[in-house]
Amino acid sequence: MAIFLSAMNLADLTGTSLATTQKWGENGVYPYRRNENGKMGFYMEDLLDIEPVRQMLQSNWEEEEHVVPLRDFTSVELFAGAGGLALGMHMAGFRHVLLNEMDAMACRTLKRNHPEWNVLEGDIHQIDFTPLCGQVDFLSGGFPCQAFSYAGKKGGLNDTRGTLFFEMARAIREIQPKVFMGENVKGLLSHDNGHTLEVIRNAIAELGYTLVEPRVLKAIMYQVPQKRERLILIAIRNDLAGRVQFHWPDPYRRVMTLRDAFFHGDLFDHDVPPSDGQTYPAKKARVMAMVPEGGDWRDLPVEEQKNYMGGSFYLGGGKTGMARRLSMDEPSLTLTCAPAQKQTERCHPTETRPLTVREYARIQTFPDDWLFEGTIADQYKQIGNAVPVNLAYAIGRSLIRLFNDIDAGNPEESHFEEANHIAHGMLPPELFPIDLTNVRDNYPEQIIQNADGRKRVLGNNDLDDSKNVLVSLVTNENLDPFNRKKANLYYTGKKFPSTVKLNKLYYFMPYTKGKGIRDLYLIKVARVGTKHEVRQECDENDFRLVFELKFVKQLFDDYKPIKLQIWHTFTDTNLRAILAM
């Protein structure tokens, strides 16, 4: 199914203006079409030469969703706020041992939603982190960016004194995590003509860490219905940096909108619940009622513009945040700490009122059961200051993948014997290695073949419930033959779990996102192949583990919901356990 992209969405993805993308369409640079709702825009498949769009179309998002930790990776979070970053990292698999936050209401929010978290309320300046030295894998935090001093000639750690980044640096020095992450506003890149970021770079080097080249991530590319951008700084301790490489997360396949946030769909399984929210005074409500969906003060009659804008009417600049009504079919503007401020208006798309607390939270991709403490103003502030949960979750999965690689390359620190075998090239025959090219060399034709691969299993009495079953996600792009029970090939992700004992695998069950498992297949052969075998447009050298399959039967009357955790739940599962679910 072709994915539609409005001219505004394309502008947001490319960092250009709406006028520019509209001209691209009007001048025929890219096909400009009407969608089923009569709106003009582009189809993503026509925009393959635009890098962000190509990344979205060729994304491995679904595979990355199932990256899970090889062990418990511990973390500390500073400046934790109401938990957007903490929740996303927790969902990815990090185990928080300490969260520090100064705001009392935000701390109450953290404790209410995760009573087991060790939330330390108070000023970071007063915290001694030395007891955690060597006990923590990962440290993160969104440090506030005050002006730095440039009196020093080196422009390093000493020049950050008096700032909260200096306190974060102190925590890093005292804890010595393997990896740390800082997040901040996009403006840090250019703050003071780039001097601020240069001081931070030098400070990170002084701490003994190697900085991954910083990147600004657009939240709209990571299943967040909001035009929010965050600068992400990730650094790896020098003794580990030469052995591993951090890979940024792949984007989601389309841009999420307020319709996705407020109604049942891909983001949430039910409509947004009612909740408290601010209201407009009668005078302002009368003005806002005149603003069309997606419009602002410029759409008011001229006299109303002058009355509402006051002296600002005669000043230069767009002032597009004033009297701004959001659009249901676009992502939200970046949320602020209050939805009804005149300069940063966030009016509901179809109702004349500010967004409610739960609408605010959904735009930040907080789940509906994440509750906020304090007054309405406190709650808006906590939500507006948060990192979008889904953005944090995507980054967290990439970090978990990094930590898995660190453990695989440092077997003395790993809790897993398999990682030790991989690191030293002593791979037992029953374990599948991460490096597919090595497998191809060692097993040029096939890894396993079931002796009765040609036998058609007809009924429950013919099933061998002692045989192992692999349950794996089938991405949307490959789902059709599985829906028709006609699939004969399945390819894995690039890094298939090394803990799966291939020579014991016998059955395969496709997992459909949002539904679960239903159908049983026989694995005839496991071998190294390519993604190109299933999808002709893919690279012929994109090596994957490939299963040749034969449909056996529909095992359940309807889809059985499960939580897919392939590293833990389904790496060594037999059919008996599946039937007992």
Q: Which of 144-158, 219-233, 351-365 has the lowest mean pLDDT?
A: 144-158
169, two tokens = 């640096």
pLDDT for res 34: 92
pLDDT at 10 over 90: yes
> Of the candidates 167, 138, 152, 2, which has an alpha carbon nearest to the alpha carbon of residue 72?
138
Are 342 and 436 members of one domain? no
pLDDT for res 374: 97
Tens-digit pLDDT profile for residues 570-579: 455 788 888 8
Asked, for residue 229, whether it belongs to a domain, the answer is yes
> What's the Rg (C-alpha) of the chain?
26
Cα gap 483→475, rounded to integer Å: 12
* Pairing status of strand 119-121 against strand 94-101: parallel
Are 463 and 499 members of one domain? yes
Are 167 and 241 members of one domain? yes
Are 98 and 35 members of one domain? no
Q: What is the CATH number of the domain that holds 43?
A: 1.10.1660.10
Asked, for residue 377, whether it belongs to a domain, the answer is no
Number of separate domains in the chain: 4
Are 199 and 102 members of one domain? yes
- Say how many Å lie between the first and final Cα of the chain, rounded: 34
pTM exceeding the 0.75 threshold for the entire prediction: no
Cα gap 229→220, rounded to integer Å: 9
Residues near 537 by beta carbon (within 8 Å), at least 6 away in sequence: none
pLDDT band at 502 (very low <50, low <70, confident <90, very high): low
Asked, for residue 363, whether it belongs to a domain, the answer is no
Cα gap 72→448, rounded to integer Å: 32
Q: What average pLDDT does the segment 270-298 reach? A: 94
Q: Could you list the residue range(s) of the whole structural domain that residue 35 is in? A: 4-58
pLDDT for res 255: 96
Last residue within a domain, chosen from 33, 58, 83: 58
Are 404 and 435 members of one domain? no
Asked, for residue 370, whether it belongs to a domain, the answer is no
pLDDT for res 410: 58
Asked, for residue 361, whether it belongs to a domain, the answer is no
Average per-residue pLDDT for the chain: 85
Q: At what angle do helices 84-92 and 389-409 cross, to 10 degrees?
A: 40
Asked, for residue 99, whether it belongs to a domain, the answer is yes
Cα gap 66→62, rounded to integer Å: 7
Asked, for residue 482, whether it belongs to a domain, the answer is yes
Question: Quick one: which H or E segment has residue 41?
Answer: strand 40-43
Q: What average pLDDT does the segment 420-438 reach? A: 42
Q: What average pLDDT does the segment 302-313 reach? A: 87
Q: What is the CATH number of the domain that holds 454?
A: 2.30.130
Tens-digit pLDDT profile for residues 318-374: 677 788 999 999 999 999 998 888 777 889 999 999 999 999 999 999 999 999 999
Cα gap 57→537, rounded to integer Å: 12
Are 458 and 526 members of one domain? yes
Residue scoring higher pLDDT (312 or 112): 112
Are 35 and 183 members of one domain? no
DSSP secondary-structure letter at 560?
B
Asked, for residue 369, whether it belongs to a domain, the answer is no
How many other β-carbons are positioned within 10 Å of the β-carbon of residue 19? 10
Are 472 and 571 members of one domain? yes
Question: Quick one: which H or E segment has residue 390?
Answer: helix 389-409
Angle at CA 73, nearest 5°, toward 72 and 79? 130
pLDDT at 389 over 90: yes
Last residue within a domain, chosen from 58, 79, 97: 58
pLDDT for res 151: 46
Percent above pLDDT 90 for the chain: 57
Tens-digit pLDDT profile for residues 243-265: 999 999 999 999 999 999 999 99
> Of the candidates 262, 252, 269, which has an alpha carbon nearest to the alpha carbon of residue 476?
252
Are 398 and 300 members of one domain? no
Are 297 and 341 members of one domain? yes
Are 35 and 177 members of one domain? no
Residue scoring higher pLDDT (576 or 541): 576
pLDDT for res 513: 80
Q: Which residues are catalytic?
A: 145
